Amino acid sequence: MAKYHTFTLFSDFEEAFGALADIRVHKIPGISIDDVTLQSPIEHPEIEEVLGDRPVHVQKFTFFGALFGVTFGFFFLAAAQASFLAQPQGGKPIIPLPSNFVLMYEMLIFFGVWTTVFAFIFLAGLVRKRGPIYSEQVNVDQIAVIIDVDEKNLDALKKLFTKHKALEIREEKLP
């Protein structure tokens, strides 16, 4: 049975959320809220009410990045100070912890930041191939709901959306 990729634009956010709320309560059998992707010009914390809590994992990468930074920092500095040409300075230890802490701290942040960034690019699914249908309006003032549905549910879905004052519904047969 053929699958369709649907792309529906709303100008009224409340209606869009309404539609999603309906999907969530299985108004249309066979369509789960988990299939829904929402595109919007701004961030909508409150839609988790309807979309359900979808997990975010960036912070774990951050944590380990930072952890790596600080431990690497310590060993790197100690190694540089003691394993190569020692730099004896009057009345000072070769591995001066207090001043090394400063640099370990900087390294913690440095690695923390970069792992976060890369984790973000990876987890947010950036720089990868996108679906075919896209409207610039989602970056202006409209909100888009994207669902892949079986042919049999298509009409029901359209009905639901039109009921919720969808501006336009685009669909495309998936290979």
Partner 1 sequence: MSFKNILENWSAFRKDAEAGGHHKYDHRWGMAINLDVCTGCNACSTACYAENNLAVVGKDRFEKGQAMHWMRIERYWDDADRQFPERGASFLPMMCQQCGAATCEPVCPVAATYHTPDGLNAQVYNRCIGSRYCSNNCPFRVRYFNFYSYYETWAEPLNQQLNPDISVRDKGVMEKCTFCVQRIRASNDKAKMENRAIADGEVQTACAQACPTGAIVFGDTMDPNSAVNKLWAKHEVKRGDYLSKKPKVNAEKRGYRIFEELNVDPSVMYLERVREEI
Partner 2 sequence: MHVNEKDINEQIRWAQINADVLRSMENPRPAYWVAVAVCIAMVSCAVLAEIYQYNTGLGVTNLNNPHMWDMYIATFVFWIGMSHSGTLLSAILHIIHADWRKPIYRFAEAMTTFSLMTAGFFPMIHLGRIWNLYWVLPYVSDRGVWPNFRSPLAWDAFAISTYLSASAVFLFIGMIPDLAICRDNAKGWRKTLYTTLSLGWRGDDRQWRNFRKTYMLLACFLIPLAVSVHSIVSADFAMSIMPGWHVTTFPPYFVAGALYSGCAAIITLFVILRYFFRFEEYMTTAIMEKTCKLTFAIAMVWTYLNLIEFASTWYGHNIYDKEVLIYKATGPYAWIFWTMIFCGSVAPFALAIQKWRRHMPTMFVVSLLLNLGMYFERWMIVAPTLSMAYEPHQFYMMYGSIVQWAIVFGSFGWFGLLFLIFVKIFPSVSMYEVKEMVFHRRRHLDHETAVKFGRRARDAGTPATDTH
Q: Which residues bind partner 2 (CB under 8 A)?
A: 14, 17, 37-47, 49, 51, 54, 56, 58-59, 62, 76-77, 80-81, 84-85, 87, 89, 92, 96, 99-100, 102-103, 105-107, 109-110, 112-114, 116-117, 119-121, 123-128, 130, 134, 136, 138-141
Task: Give which of partner 2, partner 1, none residue 147 binds (C-beta under 5 to 8 Å, depending on kind).
Answer: none
Please report how close the Cβ of residue 8 comes to partner 2 at its closest, in angstroms: 14
Nearer to partner 2, 2 or 133 (CB): 133
For residue 87 the two structure tokens come to: 């730099």
Task: Give the residues lining the site for partner 1 (CB under 8 A).
Answer: 75, 78-79, 81-84, 86-97, 99
The string of DSSP codes covering 86-150 is ----TT--SS-HHHHHHHHHHHHHHHHHHHHHHHHHHHTT-SS---S---GGGGTT-EEEEEEEE
CA distance linking residue 61 with residue 3, whole number of Å: 36
Q: What φ, ψ does residue 5 adopt, rounded to 5°?
A: -105, 110
Task: Give which of partner 2, partner 1, none residue 173 binds (C-beta under 5 to 8 Å, depending on kind).
Answer: none
Which amino acid is located at 156 in the chain?
A: A
Please report how close the Cβ of residue 79 comes to partner 2 at its closest, in angstroms: 9
